[in-house]
Amino acid sequence: MRGRLLYAGSFDPITSGHFDLIKRASKMTPELIIGVLDNQSKTPYYSVEERCDMIRLATEEFENIKIDSFSGLLADYVKKEGFEAVIRGLRATMDFEYEIQMAQMNAHLLDHEVETIFLMTSPDYSFLSSSLVKEVFKLGGNVEEFVPKSVYDYMVKNRK
């Protein structure tokens, strides 16, 4: 791909599954933007600044990755920034219904000019989600192997 790609999500927090996808997507484009949703109506566990900080720590080694946040419609953000395509991860079968709805709605909102590209999540992480990681972590379980090392250290240091 010649243009910039957007990998959008809540990343509350970034998991090893997200990180694996970021690594793979970064090879497909000159510039990968990780767009963190700043949703005013939903209260995330980590603030948008904390989520961006954790992604920054995890992706320090990559030269073609930028971290940004957005609010409002993803389609408006894509139009404003001129991304070539949007990347999303798919885990086994469970994400399909929701993802196809979003992809089709975004295609409609973007006049079918921007594609959503799906990368299959690595089977090593197909059971992982940010919600599960948060739940296990909050209840004192060990999530060390489910998030990048630097993110784990951040979570422990900033335990709420």
Minimum Å distance from CB 35 to ligand PNS? 8
Distance of alpha carbon 1 from the chain centroid: 19
Is 5 within 8 Å of 86 (Cβ atoms)? yes
Site of interaction with ligand PNS (CB under 6 A): 8-10, 37, 73-75, 102, 105-106
Q: Which is nearer to ligand PNS, 8 or 33 (CB)?
A: 8
Q: Which is nearer to ligand PNS, 57 or 107 (CB)?
A: 107
What amino acid positions are annotated as catalytic residues? Answer: 18, 42, 91, 130
Minimum Å distance from CB 101 to ligand PNS? 7
Phi and psi angles of residue 78, each rounded to the nearest 5 degrees, phi first: -65, -45
Q: Which is nearer to ligand PNS, 63 or 68 (CB)?
A: 68
Give the whole-angstrom CA distance, residue 114 versus residue 88. Answer: 13
Minimum Å distance from CB 159 to ligand PNS? 23
Give the residue nearest to ligand PNS (CB): 9
Q: How is residue 75 written in tokens?
A: 């389609």
Q: How is residue 40 written in tokens?
A: 């005013």
Sign (positive or negative) of CA dihedral 56, 47, 90, 140? positive
